A = this chain, B = another copy of it.
Amino acid sequence: MRLSTKGRYAVTAMLDLALNGVKGPVTLAEISENQGISLSYLEQLFAALRSKELVRGVRGPGGGYYLGKSADDISIANIICAVDEWVEFTRCGGRQNCSRGSRCLTHSLWDDLSAEIFDFLANISLGDLVRRGAKEAESKPPALNVVANGEDSRAA
């Protein structure tokens, strides 16, 4: 699994789309404005997302983008894989001259962990996040939308 800023842009944009796309399509210009991502970078990202059928574009005035399928059927892993494309990290994929000693054990463990991270992200859907947001919005006054995360605690 690879989680770069590019993947973040894609997830953030998809989240924006899921939240704002309930009534009619959302234009990339809106997402660009909302999220502070350049329009043509969004175009690139959405070209990748479209090719994986995670979004569907409608041209012309009043057009924009819809989710390609239900938000519950789109996982975070789907989104990240669409734009970041999975690259094999270890060169030995179990087959080469790397099959003895602790070297390949390391690689095997890495692959296991990597798959576990993937599964984790594959089990979180856009729909999950949207529902989580709906709960937050009702339990909090809308103006005091404070992000409560101890940033420093995770640096150590």
Main secondary structure of the interface of A (DSSP, over half): helix
Contacts of A19 in B (CB 8 A): 102, 105-106
A1-42 near B? 1/0 per residue, CB < 8 Å: 111110010011001100110000000000000111000000
Count class of interface residues, chain A: 35 or more
* Cβ–Cβ contact A147 & B15, under 8 A: no
Check A11/B113 contact, CB under 8 A, given A81-B155, A100-B142. yes
**Which residues of A does B touch, CB under 8 Å?**
1-5, 8, 11-12, 15-16, 19-20, 34-36, 52, 76-78, 81, 86-94, 99-113, 115-118, 120-122, 124, 129-130, 132-133, 136-137, 142-149, 151, 154-156
